[in-house]
Structure 1
Amino acid sequence: MSTINSIQQNDGLKNPWAVDHPAMLKLLQTDADAGLSAEEVVKRLRSAGYNKIESGKRISLAMVLINQFISPFVLLLGIAAGLSFFFKEWLDGIAIIVVILINAIIGFLMELQAEQSMEALKKLTRVPARVMRDGKQIEIPSEELVPGDILFVESGDMVTADGRLIRLSQLQTDESALTGESLPVEKLVPPLNEQTALAERANMIYKGTFVSKGNGYAVVVSTGMSTEFGAIARMVQQAEQAATPLEKKIAIFSKKLIWITVALLVLIFTAGLLNGKPFVSMLETSIALAVAAIPEGLPIVSTLALAYGMLRMARHNVIVKKLSSVETLGGTNVICTDKTGTLTQNKIEAVYIHIHQASTEIKLDLPNQSIHFISNTSISNAPAYHHLGRVAALCNTAYFDLDGKGETESGDPLEIGLLKMAYCAGINRQDLQQLFPKIDEVPFSSETKIMGTLHKNNEGYYIAAKGAVEELIARCTSVLEGSEIVPLTEEKRNQWLDIAEKRAQSGLRMLAFAFRDEDVIPKDFLHQLTLTGLIGFIDPPRPEVRAAIAECKSAGIKVVMITGDHPATAKNIAVQLGLAKETDGVIHGGTMKHFNELTQGDKEKWINASVFARVSPKHKLDLVTLYQNEKMVVGMTGDGVNDAPALKKADIGIAMGERGTQVAQEAAAMVLKDDAFSSIVLAVKQGRAIFENIRKFVIFLLSCNLSELLIISTASVLNLHFQLFPLQILFINLVTDVLPALALGVTEAEPHIMQRKPYPSETPIIDKERWTAIFVYSIIISIACIGGVFTSHELLHNQEGWNTELCNNVLFYTLIFSQILHVLNMSFEKGIAFYKTEIFKNRYVWYAIILCIAITVLSFLISPVRKVLDVSIYGWNDWTIVTLFSFLSFFVIQLIKRLRWVI
């Protein structure tokens, strides 16, 4: 058995945070100072493999293209094309094949980037690593790290493997991408309890996180797919991308259309045979009916309408990577959102001050260099407040400046927050540092949890200190009350601790501040301090989010916060944003069962909750699965590596563009370029508009094509003297199906679209009410067209007998103009005057009407086209009949819509 295999079988590696670091070094058979030998590295690399993320099974480009042809609707079009070729209707068949190919090419090009999440995971590993090998620190490709390597990291580095810390200096890491924790994690060396949650394993560093402060050495315990990062990558591979609601609805609709078409064809074919029609003649008629019934333009119009929606969203900083995802947001009724950087600004800001018998919430106004004291304005005159600002500026190693070019900052985020507070308090830090030059410093450490600085001034020496409340108060012997320094009794000490604890429970991170004046340089200047006050910090919410959440609620969308942060912090932000009430509970990840173990009561509790804290990537995946099992359409926002599996699993994954990791962006279907939650509301509105537009042009296409079907079947069954020819049907479909439908696809949203609840996920594209409207519309158009033929014959040509060619021409043009005008009937907003509807205001609809009329007129004026279509209306009288009956169908449909007999 190899060395690495024997190591990996040891139970100590399962919970390395619970093992003392000397024991961990012994377990991994490595040396803290010398590291591994070159020979041992080769052996371990051979056994453990390279430190890289393995790709899941990827879809080839060929399969992406083939998938564009796998749908019931494309199958229906293919059958129609095959039958056309069989009966030598070459133009019909070629036209249908062209439509299929164009639709497939557009879909293929738009979805090339849909499966690239694992490539993004790979790219994150292509960074160097500094390790101890044979007693020397060297730099190697991170892929060559093995368990037992001694890894060195410092501020600015990305951690390249999971490691157990063995020594450090003021080390802090930003683990928000992995755990969702907004604040940097202060690292330590001593072992922890085996049950310690991922976000609280302070003696570990993890692959894919970043060092924000200090430096340290760690022994590598896991590489590649064995890391926490790798576990998430495996979940991304295993998480199945659910078919979007639109894809499901189009599939269901296509199947219904197939059965309706087949039923009508069988009925008409049988009726013709019973009437003595020749078998071949009825078969050819059936082909014509199939061409008439199938809206060949539907796939391409749907694709282009969705593409236009993508362009619209891009103007609002929303990038959509998959066409069908554009509509999905419109049906979304649950948005699961991360807190850090999505609902909040991903910054640390001072929001609360407490001094002796006085406290206030504060709001910083950086541009105007002022602090707004929300609940107590008199605090600004207190001596303790001035000492608080002085300590905040002096006991600080960060940098902050604000000029005409914007903010410049570096260092610990919390210390930057303190400098912003000092800046707004009118403190000029440079002047203060000249008055109080620093001569000594005790840096913050995970052991003491205190930082102190010693300064020289004109009167002697000034000590400034800050740190964890309980630790700093333990070093204070006095407190500043008013302008007097009084002893800090045990009773007063407990009062201060109670205040800090209460505020910490509300979600604030509390720090204590103290000072001390001395005439001579003290030997130990972090004792006998004078407590001056407390400051509370929080990652503040984004200002526009509260209104966005309110709009989501009015639109019937439930917003759920899912974060790896502290429960109290999550609750505080949720209450501020109107996401939860003070009385609402927070579900802690530590109490969440495995999905398979959930009772019905547990499921109801999860569904009704609005805030989940300390959750793991697996919890997020389980929540998305639960919502989807309850027939909810789930939108999931996120920016970290830990969000990737849930982003991929959700109906619509929404990644952050500015702060989001590449993994999250590649796993998601949409990316918010500005990270603004409010952009989601705009996207929801656009998604709803897209779904309504799809409904509009589907109703338009089907009612137009069904009218053709009714006309052909009526003429065939009743053995009338006129009929439409297959080539004429194709011409009608090409003229009236595509341009008006495209115009409908880019219609603006209806005025009240965000004031209704989302449609249930099972809502079909065409429901019973809309099927009724389609049949009514098509019957009216059919009656008007056939009525125009009979009127022309009876009023103008009765003495001449039936002129089959003229009857065909009147029918042909009446049907075209009736269908062109029918596009104006596609507004379904009730109680709005016709000229105020979104359809009437859509300039593209008018462009389409004008262009369709122009094409129709040209088809008559151009002799070769007229001969191919076999049309030749004799005079203006027949054109008048065509025009009158075309408008008659329009006005009758408008009347029954106003009477609300149909939608």
Structure 2
Amino acid sequence: FFARSSPTVIISDMTALLCGSSKTHLGTQMPSGGSYIINAALEQGAQGASGDPMEVALLRVASQAGQGRDTLLETGKEVRKHAFDQDTKMMATVHREGDCFFYAVKGAPESVLEVCTKVLGRDGEQRLDATTRAQWQERSRAAASEGLRLLALASKRAEHEDGAPYEGLTLAGMVCLRDPLRADVAGAIAAAQAAGVRVVMLTGDHADTAAAIAREAGLGQGGHLNVMEGGDLDVLETETTDGSKVDGALRDRILSADVFARIAPAIKLKLAALYQQNGHIVAMTGDGVNDAPALKQADIGIAMGLRGTEVAREAADMVLKDDSVGTIIAAMWQGRVIFDNIRKFVVYLMSCNVSEVLIVGLAVGAGLPMPLLRLQILFLNLVTDVFPAFALGFGAGDDRVMRQPPRDPAEQILDGRRWILIAVLGGAITVTVLTAFWLALHWLMLPTEAAVTVSFLTLALAQLWNVFNVRMPGGGLFVNEVTRNGWVWGAIALCLAMISAVFWIPGLSEILNLPDPGLPGLVLAFGGSVAPLLIGQIVNRRTCLDAPFDAKIF
């Protein structure tokens, strides 16, 4: 997918930047019965600590307190569950405790604080006045600014199980989770930026948490980080799918943002469409059922393999087995290498084939004897064309492909510069072979059959050396991605052996009608074959001066 499409922006969930090994700390002492609150947050209560990293971290806290989920549910059966709501940013479970019901709530700190009227302290429940509420809000902001992911825990007891779950709650505390960056993330993002590709982070977490993690990962430009929250994007909820009604100022803010915090899954679809409307090629990650439309909308939809839902995997173009954004960057590098190898392959074959057509056509038009016979051309097509071309396809690539700007999706495999290169290389080989043929006839005074051998050898060797002319502009003359390709050297050695076999194995030279041209003819053929190589290197040098490798971030 990355060979076919060259993304200009990667929209990644924050979880793709993190290790997924959260360490949890409680902001307050666990109250009696408070494990209900933690265990209510567990979507998967496996004793093997499987599931979402945040849920696993909460499970460990509960286990350390001696209040496992199964044990609690034996005495406090769960009778009702209020699933997480993106609007309220909270969820709740209701448990029977004797003649009353215990409501356990978790959610975003700002949302939970807003619906709490009391707070659980060392001396029991106390009124949550404006001063205390402000103190908790400041604690939340301070923890978030350190890159901690936050959950607020609250509870209440009521006589009925069908009461309003988010009213009259008692704040029990906050859970702070620290999830370190993956080791390869900073380098991967730096590589993406060097390649002219923006990495934009999405998360449902607090904006301060997202900003701290984004700075650590190296997002933003010049040390400046643009952060937008979900509330700033409410207008997208009511606009058209492609965001065409978004006003210019808001559009510019959105397109320049590096981080989107407190984002609902539904907004991801609108964001992808908005970027596409403004000329971007979008790669987007997702793991939930609600992410499927956005993954379909993106040019390259990427599902998380470890925690992604089956729906997300089916909607995506590719699935990450390790859920890491570093793997996306590695795939982008591989895609660019593959596309560059395809271009090398095509340019090499086209320049060689063009030269064969021109050599025969121009010789006939000039009234010269045929410089190549049909069987000789067939032999060259099966030997000097095929094996070096295949070898180019196995190239490991050059790191400089990640310093090029993203490719225009409308750009063809053969663009204008490469058509010119094909014409120059094909023309250089043609002129060289015809010159060698003429010199063999009129300077060395060789018979026509021996002169044909000279033109055959000149073309065969020139086509072999031509493989070094398709290197990326700007690379070293002797050390570059082609000369580092062991397959190329193997192909050249194989082709030289097969060409030599034509003269060494009795009978083959007669079949191909290639008599010995003598030492002068061999020297002429070898010397002439080097000329197209020199011309190709000059062209590469001039191309390097005209097209420096400096990518700009879109």
Same fold, TM-score > 0.5, yes or no: yes
Which residue, out of 822, 825, 844, partners 2:487?
844
| Matches of 1:503 and 1:597, distance apart in 2 | 38
Q: Where do 1:545-624 residues align within 5 Å?
A: 545-562=185-202, 574=214, 577-579=217-219, 584-588=227-231, 590-592=234-236, 593-594=239-240, 595=242, 597-599=244-246, 601=248, 603-612=251-260, 614-616=263-265, 620-624=268-272
1:763 aligns to what?
A: 411
| Matches of 1:650 and 1:719, distance apart in 2 | 59
**Cα contact 2:243–2:270 (8 A) shared by 1:** no
Cα distance change, pair 899–501 in 1 and its aligned pair in 2 (3 A): closer
Give 1:656 shift.
Answer: 2.2
Which residue, out of 857, 869, 877, partners 2:500?
857
Q: Where do 1:454-465 residues align within 5 Å?
A: none
Question: Helix, strand or coil for the counterpart of 2:405?
Answer: coil
| Matches of 1:416 and 1:889, distance apart in 2 | 65
1:248 aligns to what?
A: none
2:16 aligns to what?
A: 342
Cα distance change, pair 429–756 in 1 and its aligned pair in 2 (3 A): same
| Matches of 1:634 and 1:668, distance apart in 2 | 13
Cα distance change, pair 584–649 in 1 and its aligned pair in 2 (3 A): closer
Question: Helix, strand or coil for the counterpart of 1:660?
Answer: coil
Give 1:644 shift.
Answer: 3.3
1:830 aligns to what?
A: 474
**Cα contact 2:388–2:491 (8 A) shared by 1:** yes
**Cα contact 1:818–1:890 (8 A) shared by 2:** yes
1:328 aligns to what?
A: 4
2:182 aligns to what?
A: 543
| Matches of 1:410 and 1:860, distance apart in 2 | 69
Report the RMSD for the aligned CA atoms in angstroms.
Answer: 4.6
Q: Name the amino acid aligned to 1:328.
A: R
Which residue, out of 516, 524, 534, partners 1:873?
516
Q: Deviations over 1:540-594 (max 9, x none)?
A: 4652434433332222112234567787876676566444666532355642011
| Matches of 2:41 and 2:11, distance apart in 1 | 36
| Matches of 1:553 and 1:859, distance apart in 2 | 52
Q: Which has the higher contact order (CA 8 A, sep 6+)?
A: 2
1:111 aligns to what?
A: none
1:693 aligns to what?
A: 341
Cα distance change, pair 623–659 in 1 and its aligned pair in 2 (3 A): same
Q: How many residues are treated as equivalent by the alignment? A: 498
| Matches of 1:640 and 1:546, distance apart in 2 | 25
**Cα contact 2:195–2:406 (8 A) shared by 1:** yes
Q: Where do 1:286-305 residues align within 5 Å?
A: none
| Matches of 1:622 and 1:487, distance apart in 2 | 44
1:256 aligns to what?
A: none
**Cα contact 1:556–1:758 (8 A) shared by 2:** yes
Q: State yes or no: 1:816 paired with 2:490.
A: no
1:882 aligns to what?
A: 525
1:317 aligns to what?
A: none
Question: Helix, strand or coil for the counterpart of 1:508?
Answer: strand
Cα distance change, pair 583–767 in 1 and its aligned pair in 2 (3 A): closer
Give 1:676 shift.
Answer: 1.5
Give the TM-score taking structure 1 as reference length: 0.47
Cα distance change, pair 441–607 in 1 and its aligned pair in 2 (3 A): same
Give 1:741 shift.
Answer: 1.1
Q: Name the amino acid aligned to 1:333.
A: T
Q: Which structure is larger by alpha-carbon Rg, 1 or 2?
A: 1
1:22 aligns to what?
A: none
**Cα contact 2:40–2:104 (8 A) shared by 1:** no
| Matches of 2:105 and 2:359, distance apart in 1 | 85
Cα distance change, pair 813–666 in 1 and its aligned pair in 2 (3 A): farther
| Matches of 2:399 and 2:12, distance apart in 1 | 27
**Cα contact 2:286–2:303 (8 A) shared by 1:** yes
**Cα contact 2:39–2:59 (8 A) shared by 1:** no
Question: Helix, strand or coil for the counterpart of 1:342?
Answer: helix
Q: Name the amino acid aligned to 2:10.
A: I
| Matches of 1:642 and 1:396, distance apart in 2 | 25
Q: Deviations over 1:190-234 (max 9, x none)?
A: xxxxxxxxxxxxxxxxxxxxxxxxxxxxxxxxxxxxxxxxxxxxx
Q: State yes or no: 1:656 paired with 2:311.
A: no
| Matches of 1:486 and 1:562, distance apart in 2 | 37
Question: Helix, strand or coil for the counterpart of 1:585?
Answer: strand
Q: Name the amino acid aligned to 1:549.
A: I
Q: Where do 1:169-248 residues align within 5 Å?
A: none
Q: Which runs of 5 or more residues in structure 1 are unaligned?
A: 1-324, 356-386, 401-406, 455-463, 515-530
Question: Helix, strand or coil for the counterpart of 2:174?
Answer: strand
Q: Where do 1:386-535 residues align within 5 Å?
A: 387-388=29-30, 408-409=48-49, 416-421=56-61, 429=65, 474=117, 479-480=121-122, 490=129, 493-496=132-135, 498-499=137-138, 508-511=150-153, 534-535=173-174
Q: Deviations over 1:605-658 (max 9, x none)?
A: 5433444554455x5445444434444322232233333344344333322222
1:713 aligns to what?
A: 361
| Matches of 1:616 and 1:471, distance apart in 2 | 23
| Matches of 2:282 and 2:39, distance apart in 1 | 44
| Matches of 2:73 and 2:132, distance apart in 1 | 29
Give 1:684 shift.
Answer: 1.2
After superposing the two structures, state which structure 1 stretch, 622-631 or 814-823, moved more.
622-631
Give 1:470 shift.
Answer: 5.1
Cα distance change, pair 616–422 in 1 and its aligned pair in 2 (3 A): closer
